[in-house]
Chain A
Amino acid sequence: MFFLQSLLSGILTGGVYALAGIGMSLVFGVMNISNFAHGDLMMLGMYLAYFAFTLLHIDPYLSLLLIIPTAFLFGFILEKVFIHRIINHLHQNQILLTIGLGLIMSNTALLAFTSDPKILTTSYSSSAVHILGGISLSVPLLLSFVITCGIIGILFIFLSKTTTGLALWATSQNREAAQLMGINVAKMSAIAFGLGTSLAATAGALIAPTYYIHPMVGHTFLLKAFTICVLGGLGSVVGAGVGGVVIGVVESMSSTYLSSDWKDVVVFIIFLAVLLLRPQGLFGKKGEQ
């Protein structure tokens, strides 16, 4: 029973992680940049959901309709102003620039919203559904999972059926070749970063009702998102989806059977093990490391 319980809640949380991981993987695939500001973008999504709820009285799940376009625009502008200037730079400079942007976001949030953790409490925050007798599933997590699946579905249709989506795939497969085929890769980069940002913010908004909202919360999620991407293969969208669920389950299992203090350590050990044994990840192409 314990096993099933923690498996299911792991899968539910993992869905939201997958969303964050897919955003990061998309940016990596199209732009070949590790975005260290990803966790802080998630943090901004959490605050957006919080303020939409407390100030405008919009349900956190409904506020996504507001958050997704706002975050897309924010990411698009970030790319146009900062990120595009370092696309061909050394990896370490890209990492440092995004770290710098992340520090600016988290510390501005710290100045604006103070370090007191905020809690988003909806009428259904602590309610749970019971299935199969003893297994209880938290309603907000369940809702988040359903919405996540919807968003991932829409994303896949976008990536595989629309012209822009196909151009994104092409750019991620081979930037030079895509450019030669007449694809505007600079625009694709900005769109990819916008999409990555809105996926991060969405994941943040979805997790907001079940998590403490805090300016420094991005740090935790950043490292999780990286683990997910590396597990799935950096740049692989499908891989990130699967990786997210795996990490969610691993976390939930290690809290149940080990201790919740050590769950992050288990995640990082898996991360290193993947790097050691299969650096291209579960779904990555060989020779990419």
Chain B
Amino acid sequence: MKQIILIAIIAGIAAVLPLVTGESPYFTGVMISVLMMAALSSAWNILGGYAGQYSFGHAAYFGAGAYTTMILITQFNLNPLLSMAAGIIIACLIALITGSIVFRLRGHYFGLASIAVAEIVRLSALNFEFTGGAQGILLSEVSLWGLDLNSKNPFYYGMLLVLVVTLGITLYLRTSKTGFYLQAIREDQDAAASLGINLSFYKNKALLISASLTSLLGSLYAVYIRFIDTSAVLDLRLSIEIILTAIIGGVGTLWGPVLGAVLLVPLAEVLRSNVIGDALVKQGLVSETSGLGIFLKENLAHAHVLVYGIITVVCILYLPKGILGLFRRVK
């Protein structure tokens, strides 16, 4: 009950935030990224954190949602909401195929197989013609119920809604039979099986829930950005960012993925937009035309992945249970 109130309070604060900050597209943009990563990571957490099945290929579901929605809108002029629903169906199909192959495997093999499936999806999107190949898909016009889809607010609230739903499902799962079964599977698969838990049924159930939510976020992202290609929505790096966010916050906790997103996304944004480099130049510490100044300007934008790598290593070595894991036992 405490957690439900907490979700409601945080969602309430997030909901009025755009009204307070007013017209700042940049701030709203960063907030949308935070909400999206928080929701993606929470959705991954249902499978990875609670069922203990670390999927390294969640980009496949994100991309499935994004591509299905974009293709249906641009080529068949379908209603965006119906296109999103179709995206969920496609993602579930991929999830069922993946699940039937990978859930028979354990340990190393599971992680590897989930990457292989995601790579097959990525390469297919890159090589088929109806997916736009390497050029990707551009969406020039879209409308829904007279909403102003050129502004960022509908997407802000859309992402917030999916995040709240994901947290709600996670909360429900924690105290439901399915949730206990999943945690039993995470702790000891053989023991869980010997108690009569149908391993593949419950693993697939967790995967389908997780994949559907991920696909929905992919659809929202695609309509929001209005351009997708394989490197934006199907890359292995996206799958890894999703996991990393959960790890840093705390895997298998309700708020861990949200905390991870709140910390990591703005950090990446700062590095990407080169705020540090600009500040150094402004302070007169580095001259803009000097070698170092040019180097910072041209290269620091790439550095956020490097920083992600360093954070991953430090986190695994010193903080394997994440920030929330410091405060309590992982539930």
Stretch of B31-39, B113-121, B195-203 lying at the A interface: B113-121
User: Which of A55-63, A85-93, A158-166, A190-198 touches B?
Assistant: A85-93
Contact indicator B127/A107 (Cβ below 8 Å): no
Contacts of B243 in A (CB 8 A): 96
Q: How far is the CB of B284 from chain A (nearest CB, A)?
A: 24
Query: Does A275 interact with chain B (Cβ within 8 Å)?
Result: yes
Task: Name which residue of chain A comes closest to B305, CB basis.
Answer: A107
Interface status of A4 (Cβ within 8 A of chain B)? no
Q: A2 near B: Cβ within 8 Å? A: no
Given contacts A107-B303, A219-B236, contact A100 B113 (CB under 8 A): no
Query: Does B101 have its Cβ within 8 Å of any Cβ on chain A?
Result: yes
Contacts A104-B313, A289-B106 supplied; 20 other A-B pairs, CB < 8 Å: A34-B111, A89-B320, A92-B54, A92-B111, A97-B312, A99-B240, A99-B309, A100-B311, A101-B313, A103-B240, A107-B305, A110-B306, A114-B299, A223-B115, A227-B116, A262-B127, A268-B116, A268-B119, A268-B120, A279-B109
Q: Is A95 an interface residue (CB 8 A)?
A: yes
A283 contacts the other chain (Cβ, under 8 Å)? no
Flag whether B262 is at the interface (Cβ < 8 A).
Answer: no
Contact A111 B303 (CB under 8 A): yes
Q: Could you give, for residues 246-289 of chain A, a 1 whenever the CB lies within 8 Å of some chain B CB and a 0 otherwise?
A: 00000000000001011011001101100110010000000001
Query: Of B126, B310, B316, which one neighbours A86 at CB under 8 angstroms?
Result: B316
B112 & A230 in contact (Cβ 8 Å cutoff):
yes
| B313 A226 Cβ-Cβ under 8 A | no
Q: How far is the CA of A29 from the CA of B104 in the complex (A)?
A: 22
- The residues of A that contact B306 with a CB separation of less than 8 Å are 103-104, 107-108, 110-111
| Interface of A, helix, strand, loop or mixed by DSSP | helix
Distance of A243 Cα from B59 Cα, bound (Å): 28
Chain B residues lying within 8 Å of A107, measured Cβ to Cβ, are 302-303, 305-306, 309
Verify if B40 is at the interface (C-beta below 8 Å from A). no
Q: List 6 A-B contacts (CB under 8 A).
A: A92-B111, A102-B309, A103-B312, A107-B303, A268-B116, A289-B105
Q: Is B317 part of the contact surface with A, judged by Cβ < 8 Å?
A: yes
Binary interface encoding of chain B residues 215-254 relative to chain A, with 1 for a CB under 8 A from any of its CBs, else 0:
0000000000000000000001000100110010000000
Are the CB atoms of A82 and B317 closer together than 8 Å?
yes
Number of chain B interface residues as a range? 35 or more
Total A-B pairs in contact (CB under 8 Å)?
A: 124
Answer yes or no: B79 CB below 8 A from chain A CBs: no
- The DSSP consensus for interface residues of chain B is helix
**Structural contact, B236 and A91, CB atoms closer than 8 A:** no
Quick one: CB contact mask for B90-130 with A, threshold 8 Å, 1 for yes? 00000000000110111111011101110110011011000
Q: How far is the CB of B199 from chain A (nearest CB, A)?
A: 14
Cα distance A108–B303 in the bound complex, in angstroms: 8
Please state if B299 and A111 are interface contacts (CB–CB under 8 Å): yes
Interface size class of chain A, counting residues whose CB lies under 8 Å from the partner chain: 35 or more
Among A91, A100, A227, the residue within 8 A (CB) of B313 is: A100
- In angstroms, Cα B119 to Cα A269, docked, is 10
Interface members, chain A 67-94 (any B CB < 8 Å):
82, 85-86, 89, 91-93
Once the chains bind, are A103 and B309 in contact (CB under 8 Å)? yes
B308 within 8 A of A: yes
**Residue pair B108, A223 in contact (C-beta under 8 Å):** no
Which A residues are in CB contact (< 8 Å) with B308?
100, 103
By beta carbon, the residue of chain A nearest B298 is A114
Whether B56 sits at the interface, judged by CB under 8 Å, is: yes
> Distance (Å) between the CB of B102 and the closest chain A CB?
8
Q: How far is the CA of A261 from the CA of B131 in the complex (A)?
A: 15
Distance between Cα atoms of A268 and B98 in the complex (Å): 13
Q: Is A237 an interface residue (CB 8 A)?
A: no
In the assembly, what is the distance between CA of A46 and CA of B180, in Å? Answer: 49
The interface residues of chain B lying within 8 Å CB-to-CB of A259 are 127
Cα of A238 to Cα of B320 in the assembled complex, Å = 35
